[in-house]
Structure 1
C-alpha cells in the first residue's frame, strides 16, 4: 500500500500505485503535492474547454480564464480567426487583460504596465524608449518574439478547446467519437448555431475537482441524495389537475425521483481517454414536453432521419473529460475549473438554440437555476456531500475509495456499452485516463 504523498514531488511509480482496477487511493483527492503535479502534467496534457466562439463574435473581442493555474487569453483577430495566448506580457509578465471579457479597442493590445504593444496575432509592435534597446539582443530574445501562443488550440463547431503542453495527443484522436455529443447539441438548432446567453452561474465548492466529475457519472445518488427536493416538488404539484401542463420547474425536478431500476436501465457508454455518456437509452430529460413546429423546422434543416436521431438522444450527461459536461436537452453545459486540492469552481452556461423556439432557452435557464445555482436545493444536496467527502477522507479509516460497482476482471476494452446505467465503469475509465495523462511526460 502506498504511503501518503509528501510535499517533495511524488515519483511516477508512486503515482501509478494510486490507481487500482477497482479503487483509487485517497491521496488522489487529498495531496497538495499531487495536485501541483496535476496542474502541470495532467491538465497540460489533456484538451480542456476554454469557451465558446459566440462569446467573442467581433474582431478584438476577448475572454480570459484560468485553466489549471495558467492565465489564458482567447480572442478573435482582425481576420476573424480565434487565437489563444498565455495571458502575460512578453516584457515583465503582467496580464494584458484582467477583465473576464471585453474588446481590445483597436488593432493592438497594450500592456498597462510599460505600454508594450502587440498585434492581435500576438506579434510585438512596439515599446517606449526604443533607443535604449538598440544592440541589446532584444529582437532575438524570448521577449522580442511577442506573446506566447497556447500550444494546442482547436475550435470544433464553435466550442473552443486548448492544450497547454506541447506535443501529446491531437484533438481529433483525443475526443474521437465523443465529438458526436457536441454535434447533438449544435444540430438541435435549425440554423446549426448556438449562442451563449443568460450569463454564467459559478459555484465554488470546497472539494477536489474529481468528486464533482465522478458525481456527473453517478446516477445512483439521486434516489437518496435528492429525495427531499423531489418530495418538495411533489407536495407542490400533487394537488393540481393531473391533466394540466406541468410548469418547467416541476417538469425538470420530478424526474429526479425515479427509482433504481430506472437509472439501471438508462444505459451508458465508455470512450477512450476518460470520456463517457450516461443515459444512452433514455434519461431524466427524455420526457420533456413536445415543441410543435420546432420538430418540423428541424426536419427541414437536417432531414427527417437526422432530426429524429438528434431529438431522441437526450443523455443524462456527456462528459468530455476532464473539464466539460454537456446536456443536449436542456441546452446547458458545466465547466469544471480546479483551483486548489480542496477547492473547485463549477461554471454553468446556457445556450440559445438559434432558429429554435424561445422555450428551449427558457428550459435551459430554468434548469440551471434549479439544479446548478448555489441557491438551488438540488445543488445544496450535492455540495454538502462533496465537502463531506473531502473532510471524511482526512480520517484514519481505509486509504482506498471503492469503485467496485459492476467491476469485472475481464472488463472489455473501450469503447463499449456499460452493462447498466449505474455501472461505475464510467468512473473507473476516468481514472485510467487520469493515470495515463498524468504520467505520460514524467520520467520514471
Structure 2
C-alpha cells in the first residue's frame, strides 16, 4: 500500500466507526506513545512483587524504561530507569533486590532508594563544574505521578493531568471486588506471568475483551470439545476445574444476549456484571465463613455475587474477579503487542482459588491454550486485512441509534452493545488531543 499522509487525529474517531489508521498508522502509534500513554494512568506493578526494601521490578511503558522500587519506609517509588549521568539503565533484570543503594553498572554513580544522588566517583573533579545546577546532579527522575490502590501500582507519566480517582472513578470497584475475595483483603501475585507477543495493534485486543458476539463462532470448536468430553462422564461426577471453565464456551447467542454491562467515563467498563461465564463458581463453606467474618455476610455475598466477564481499567488492564486473573496490555509497535496473564492468590483463602486462577490462564490465555490461538489468529488476520484497499472504516454500529454518545457517568447497556468499544475510542480521542508535556 502506498504511503499517504495520516488524517488528523480528530477525524479518525466518529460516533459509530473508527478509521483504520488508528490500528495501522506508524504516525498515530508514535503520537500515542508521546500523548495518550503519558496523559492516562497505567498499571506498572503489584506490591506483592516487591515485599522488601530495595526490591525492584523493571518494565517499559510507552517506550520509556521504568523502575519500581520498594522504599525503606514501605512506600513505593517509580523512577525512569536511567542513570542521571549517561542515561544507562540502572537495572536490566526484570526484578531483584538492590539492597540499600541503587547503583549504575557503567560509572558506579549511586543513589538512595528515594532517588537522591549518593555517590559519584572522582567527585572532586566536579567541584568547579555546573553539575549541581544541572538535572544530572539532582538524582533519578520520578514519573509524573504514582498511586498505589489495593496494592496495584499505577503511574501517570505527565507531571500534570487528571487525578487518579477522577480518571478511574467507579471502575475501581472491580479492584475492590477482586481484593475483597481475600478474608484479609490482600492479594499476592502467584504462579508467574504468562506472556504472548501478538502481531496486532493493542486496541484490537482491548476491543475483543468487550466483545460477547465472537465466542459463538471463534471458539466454537473449543466449546464443543469440552461439552463432548463432559457428556461422556458418569452422572454425578465431580466437575474438574478445566471443564467448569471451558463449558461456557459452548454457549450460544441466547446466553450472551442476556449479559449486561456498565461503561464509565475515560474508557473503563464492566462486562456481564449480573451473569457471566464465571457466575456460579462453587466455594468451600469454611471460606464463605471466613469471608463473612471479616467483611460481614452482606458484603461477602455481594462480592461473590458479582463476577464480571471482564472489567477494563483502560487502557492497561482487564481483571476477572471470580477466577482471580488479570491481563496486562503492553503495546510494542503499531502492529505488535505483548499480553501478560497474571494469577493472584487471595490471602487466607483456600488453594482452590489459586488453582482456579492458574488453570484459567493456562487454558484460556496461554499461547498454547485451546482458546487463545483462535483469537490470536483473528487479531493478526485483522491487522493484515486493514492494509487492503477499499473501505477505510471499521464498524462499531452495533447497539447505537446513530446519535452521538457521551459517557459522562456510569451508563448501563447490553452486553452485546459495541458501546463498550465506542467508549474506549472516545477516551482515546480525548487524551490524544491533550497537549504534549515536554
TM-score w.r.t. structure 2 length? 0.97
- 1:419 offset after TM fit, Å? 3.3
- 1:420 offset after TM fit, Å? 1.3
User: In the alignment, what sits opposite 2:108?
Assistant: 115
Contact 1:5 1:31 in 2 (8 A): no
- 1:227 offset after TM fit, Å? 0.2
- 1:130 offset after TM fit, Å? 1.3
Q: Which segment drifts farther, 255-264 or 265-274? A: 255-264
User: In the alignment, what sits opposite 1:204?
Assistant: 197
- 1:262 offset after TM fit, Å? 1.4
- 1:290 offset after TM fit, Å? 3.1
User: In the alignment, what sits opposite 2:296?
Assistant: 303
Question: 2:89 and 2:411 mapped to 1: Cα distance?
Answer: 45
SS at match of 1:265: coil
Cα distance, 1:36–1:305 mapped onto 2, change above 3 Å: same
Cα distance, 1:415–1:261 mapped onto 2, change above 3 Å: farther
Cα distance, 1:290–1:78 mapped onto 2, change above 3 Å: closer
Aligned pair partner of 2:75 in 75, 81, 86: 81
Aligned pair partner of 1:53 in 47, 50, 55: 47
- 1:75 offset after TM fit, Å? 0.7
Deviation sequence 1:187-217 (CA, Å, 0-9, x none):
0000111010100000000000000000000
Aligned pair partner of 2:37 in 19, 39, 43: 43
Question: 2:147 and 2:366 mapped to 1: Cα distance?
Answer: 30
Give 5+ residue unaligned stretches, structure 2.
none
Question: 2:255 and 2:222 mapped to 1: Cα distance?
Answer: 18
- 1:418 offset after TM fit, Å? 3.6
SS at match of 1:419: strand
Aligned pair partner of 2:154 in 137, 148, 161: 161
Aligned-CA RMSD value = 1.4
User: In the alignment, what sits opposite 1:338?
Assistant: 331
SS at match of 1:387: helix
SS at match of 2:371: helix
- Size of the aligned set, in residue pairs, is 435
User: In the alignment, what sits opposite 1:392?
Assistant: 385
Q: Does 1:68 align with 2:62?
A: yes
User: In the alignment, what sits opposite 1:243?
Assistant: 236
Mapping of residues 249-268 of structure 1, within 5 Å: 249-268=242-261
User: In the alignment, what sits opposite 2:368?
Assistant: 375
Cα distance, 1:440–1:200 mapped onto 2, change above 3 Å: same
SS at match of 2:304: helix
Aligned pair partner of 1:23 in 17, 22, 28: 17
Contact 2:227 2:250 in 1 (8 A): no
Q: Does 1:357 align with 2:350?
A: yes
- 1:4 offset after TM fit, Å? 7.5
- 1:242 offset after TM fit, Å? 3.1
Question: 1:148 and 1:68 mapped to 2: Cα distance?
Answer: 17
User: In the alignment, what sits opposite 1:219?
Assistant: 212
User: In the alignment, what sits opposite 2:85?
Assistant: 91
User: In the alignment, what sits opposite 1:431?
Assistant: 425
User: In the alignment, what sits opposite 2:118?
Assistant: 125
Question: 1:242 and 1:320 mapped to 2: Cα distance?
Answer: 41
User: In the alignment, what sits opposite 2:400?
Assistant: 407
Cα distance, 1:201–1:36 mapped onto 2, change above 3 Å: same
Contact 1:5 1:27 in 2 (8 A): no
Question: 1:224 and 1:201 mapped to 2: Cα distance?
Answer: 25
Give 5+ residue unaligned stretches, structure 1.
none
Q: Does 1:140 align with 2:124?
A: no
- 1:147 offset after TM fit, Å? 0.2
